[in-house]
Amino acid sequence: MDEAHNELEKFGGVAGMEGLNVLQAFDRIIASLPPHNPLRRDLAALRAGIADHEEMIRDARQMIEKLEEVIKKVTSPANRIGTYLGSPARETAHIVVGGSDYYCNVDPRIRLGNLKKGTRVLVNEAYVIVGDLGFETAGPVTKITEVLGSDRLRVGGEHGLQSTILQRSADLLKSSLKSGDEVRVDSSYRMALEALPHPEPREHYLDEVPELPWEKVGGQDEALQAIKDAIELPLLHGELFNKFQHATPKGFLLYGPPGCGKTLIGKATAYNLTKQLREKTGNEMKEYFMHVKGPEILNMWVGESERIVRDIFATAREKRREGFLPFLFIDEAESILGTRRASRHSNILSTLVPMFCSEMDGIESLDDVVVILASNRADLIDPAILRPGRIDRKIKVQRPNRPGAREIYRIYLIDDLPYDVSVSQASENVSAAIDRLIERLLDVQFARREENKFLEITLRSGRKEIIYRSDLLSGAIIASVVERAKGMAIKRAIALESGAAVPNAERVPDGVSENDLQVAFNAEFSENNIFPPTDVAEDWFKLIDFDPENVVKIAPARAVAAGREGWRSSSVI
């Protein structure tokens, strides 16, 4: 040991070892000893023990530091999360935390200019912003009822809820928002964060309106004249209407049997009214035809049907503000606007009918929204809907008589169709030949013959009425007859091209023939596609123009000839 002490003195004593740890000092001492010095071996053994102790102390120190860090974490107060609302002054932020507003400082490491309005911020126990968490990705959803300026929105006010004013977040400042849109709100209900797409497209009910002048609607002269008087006169002679203080109508009811052109008349109304307005004002205006099927509105969830009605009218008013002329066409209106005591949906209709009445009362005239209802059973619609001031005009759409059927046939049997040579061989004028063909068809179809008998109706007075095929004719049936005849002609043309022989034919017609049209007409009444397959009277009242109160029995006049083998002998009301 004395020798080691002497060696230590050579290095300048303890002062020469400053800055070295114990192991480094031992290494220097060992290195200074001669190679064969026995003290060298003893110091090396001592160094190994000291190294083990140093490693143990180092591990213990690291463990203590980790424990201190854990203790610090579990004993430190939690940071709060707030919403950044703006910066009222330099180095000062306006935040809301747990429903309370605070003016607070910002950690110097956080640049105040980078914080966006509506983002979440981390706040320590001293209410200093120490972190930027970005925009919240979840939160309540609400609907805009009014847009207030460029940075505020009014929401709520439905189902008994109080209206609330929200600010727009930084990401919504330049977004185009309107009444009826849905937005996601922060948890404090102070800031609109995100505009949400509608669960179903707003264009869901939009139906295209083709070029449809009045001349393309055949067999409905009386209905068209009533529509023209109701919509064109107020537009063309507005000064006289103002002079007489005569109110313009807000809505129409088109009622009558199915297939007679109620939807077609609705679209023709949209096309022609918009055309009249364009010509009068000189402004480019386009119709917005919303074709709503009544059953689409009915929903099993409480309040959902009423919400759909509100959305439909809100969409119509919104489109009017955008420059469109909206037409709200509700088909099968009796399914949603029926008398509240007569419908199987009475629980829904008890609130749906008043909601529709309320929306109708908010329409000033047809200059805002044109409402057109269509129904096969107008007697089932609630009287509150049909009173003046809501649905002002009730227009009956009749089944076509012979002149009307002639017009409809002529719309579908155009000159450009390929006809059989037998149709036009008697004349070079194809148009005249087609007219003669239609007349021959009508002679057969409107004949009061035994084979044309269809129904026998017994009235309460005991009198019996015979319904013929022509009494159940409609524009849809005529269109289907022509399409069937075209199909027959196409099949013959395909057979001829393939070289196949046509059985039981002396001469194969090379186009649409008179026989094709007559066979197609008989098929329409025999295949049971357009008439009720049973004898349920309620189904037949949609097709026949009789008062249900006066009918006691409905029976097929010629069950076998009319394809009614499955009917019972009679239907008693």
- E strand or H helix that includes residue 396: strand 393-396
% of residues, the chain, pLDDT over 90: 9
> Where is average pLDDT lowest: 106-115, 116-125, 198-207, 371-380?
198-207
Edge-to-edge strand order for the sheet containing 464-468? Answer: 464-468, 453-459, 551-556, 571-572
Q: Does residue 330 fall inside a structural domain?
A: yes
3-class DSSP state of 502 = coil
| Residue 113: HSE in the Cβ half-sphere, 13 Å Cα cutoff | 0
Q: With a cut of 90, say whether residue 103 has pLDDT above it.
A: yes
Tell me what pLDDT residue 483 has. Answer: 92
Q: Does residue 205 fall inside a structural domain?
A: no
DSSP-derived secondary structure for 44-78: HHHHHHHHHHHHHHHHHHHHHHHHHHHHHHHHSPP
Q: With a cut of 90, say whether residue 450 has pLDDT above it.
A: no
Q: With a cut of 90, say whether residue 565 has pLDDT above it.
A: no
Edge-to-edge strand order for the sheet containing 287-293? Answer: 287-293, 325-331, 370-375, 251-255, 393-396
Query: Could you tell me the pLDDT band of residue 63, with boundaries at 50, 70 and 90?
Result: very high
Same structural domain, 7 and 124 = no
Count structural domains, the chain: 5
Same structural domain, 35 and 183 = no
Q: With a cut of 80, say whether residue 569 has pLDDT above it.
A: no
Tell me what pLDDT residue 386 has. Answer: 87
Q: Does residue 404 fall inside a structural domain?
A: no
Distances (CA, A) of 279 to 129, 210, 241, 273: 62, 18, 19, 10
Instruction: For residue 29, give the amino acid letter.
Output: I
- Those residues whose C-beta lies under 8 Å from the C-beta of residue 486, and which sit 6 or more positions away, are 417, 512
Q: Tell me the C-alpha distance between 312 and 504, whole Å.
A: 57
**Can you give the residue range of the structural domain that contains 175?**
141-196
pTM for the model: 0.66
Question: How would you write 220-234 as a 3-class SS string?
Answer: CHHHHHHHHHHHHHH
Same structural domain, 164 and 191 = yes
Q: With a cut of 50, say whether residue 464 has pLDDT above it.
A: yes
The CATH number for 258's domain is 3.40.50.300
Question: Is 132 within 8 Å of 79 (Cβ atoms)?
Answer: no
Same structural domain, 292 and 366 = yes
% of residues, the chain, pLDDT over 70: 82
Same structural domain, 163 and 110 = no
Q: With a cut of 90, say whether residue 94 has pLDDT above it.
A: yes
Query: Could you tell me the pLDDT band of residue 571, with boundaries at 50, 70 and 90?
Result: very low
Phi, psi of 81 (to 5 degrees): -115, 125
Structure tokens at 108: 């110097």
Q: Does residue 412 fall inside a structural domain?
A: no
Q: Does residue 409 fall inside a structural domain?
A: no
Tell me what pLDDT residue 341 has. Answer: 55
Q: What is the mean pLDDT of the chain?
A: 79
Q: Does residue 402 fall inside a structural domain?
A: no
- Those residues whose C-beta lies under 8 Å from the C-beta of residue 145, and which sit 6 or more positions away, are 154, 155, 156, 157, 158, 163, 179
Same structural domain, 91 and 71 = no
Q: Does residue 344 fall inside a structural domain?
A: yes
Same structural domain, 318 and 342 = yes
Sort 301 into a burial class: Cβ within 10 Å, 0-12 / 13-18 / 19+: exposed
- Those residues whose C-beta lies under 8 Å from the C-beta of residue 158, and which sit 6 or more positions away, are 143, 145
Distances (CA, A) of 223 to 121, 162, 219, 479, 542: 66, 47, 9, 20, 19
Nearest partner of 368 among 265, 297, 253, 288, judged by Cα: 288
Q: Tell me the C-alpha distance between 239 and 332, whole Å.
A: 36
Q: Tell me the C-alpha distance between 165 and 455, whole Å.
A: 64
pLDDT in tens, 110-133: 888 889 999 999 998 888 999 999
Q: With a cut of 50, say whether residue 270 has pLDDT above it.
A: yes
Strand partners, 122: 81, 131
Same structural domain, 224 and 324 = yes
Structure tokens at 558: 């010629």
Same structural domain, 370 and 263 = yes
Q: Tell me the C-alpha distance between 148 and 166, whole Å.
A: 10
Helices (H), 172-303: 221-236, 238-243, 262-281, 294-297
Question: Is 278 within 8 Å of 419 (Cβ atoms)?
Answer: no
Tell me what pLDDT residue 97 has. Answer: 92
Tell me what pLDDT residue 17 has. Answer: 60
Q: Tell me the C-alpha distance between 97 and 120, whole Å.
A: 10
Same structural domain, 555 and 542 = yes
Q: Does residue 509 fall inside a structural domain?
A: yes
Structure tokens at 189: 């209900």
The CATH number for 114's domain is 2.40.50.140
Same structural domain, 230 and 162 = no
Intra-chain end-to-end CA distance of the chain, in Å = 131
pLDDT mean over 244-264: 85
- Look at residues 95, 117, 134 and tell me which one is the last residue of a structural domain: 134
> Where is average pLDDT lowest: 124-128, 455-459, 564-568?
564-568
Same structural domain, 381 and 235 = yes
